[in-house]
Amino acid sequence: MICPGFRKGVPARPDPSDACFPKRAKYPTVRYVIPESEVQISAVRSQGAGGQNVNKVATAIHLRFDVARSSLPEAVKERLLAMADKRITAEGVIVIKAQAARTQEQNRVQALARLQALIDRATRIPKPRQPTKPTLGSKMRRLKSKEIRSQVKAQRTKVDD
């Protein structure tokens, strides 16, 4: 297939909608779907104002997910447990409470979506940092400012007569 935009072997600027120039993912990730058998879901009463419905009906959802016993790969488990997230307990259990919606089913969907988002964040491999060296100009500016500061402080010493 000859891609449009090529003229005498010189490629034109790629058009994002062009099939000849496929988009590449910035960080290739795999999405791990959590089986519902690994998630414990319990319905509890919602907190806060809301009248009789809040006091009578258990619409809030408590979701518990044990990371150590899950079917996730070990590398993802380690990154998940290393996250600084208040929803992950010291025992390695993720606890999510969803109570924004009025129905139990909507809260259940929201809790599962939050769990999936947390796991998706842990599956992305962090990009390694490339160490850089300071430029010559930045070194010279630093040394110049040190020299000026040194002269200012030198004027504070006692004068010998």
Average pLDDT in the 5-14 region? 50
Q: What is the pLDDT of residues 67-108, one digit of tens each?
A: 999 999 999 999 999 988 899 999 999 999 999 888 899 999
pTM of the predicted structure, to 2 decimals = 0.62
Q: What is the pLDDT of residues 46-68, one digit of tens each?
A: 887 767 776 778 889 999 999 99
pLDDT at 17: 52
1 pLDDT tier (thresholds 50, 70, 90): very low
Q: Which helix (H) or strand (E) element contains residue 119?
A: helix 104-123
Contact between 60 and 84 under an 8 Å Cβ cutoff? The reply is: no
Task: Report which DSSP code applies to 6.
Answer: E
d(C-alpha 87, C-alpha 104), whole Å: 20
d(C-alpha 89, C-alpha 62), whole Å: 14
**Terminal CA-CA length for the chain:** 90
Query: How many alpha carbons lie under 13 Å from residue 31 in its C-beta half-sphere?
Result: 5
| 27 pLDDT higher than 60 | no
Q: What is the mean pLDDT of the chain?
A: 82
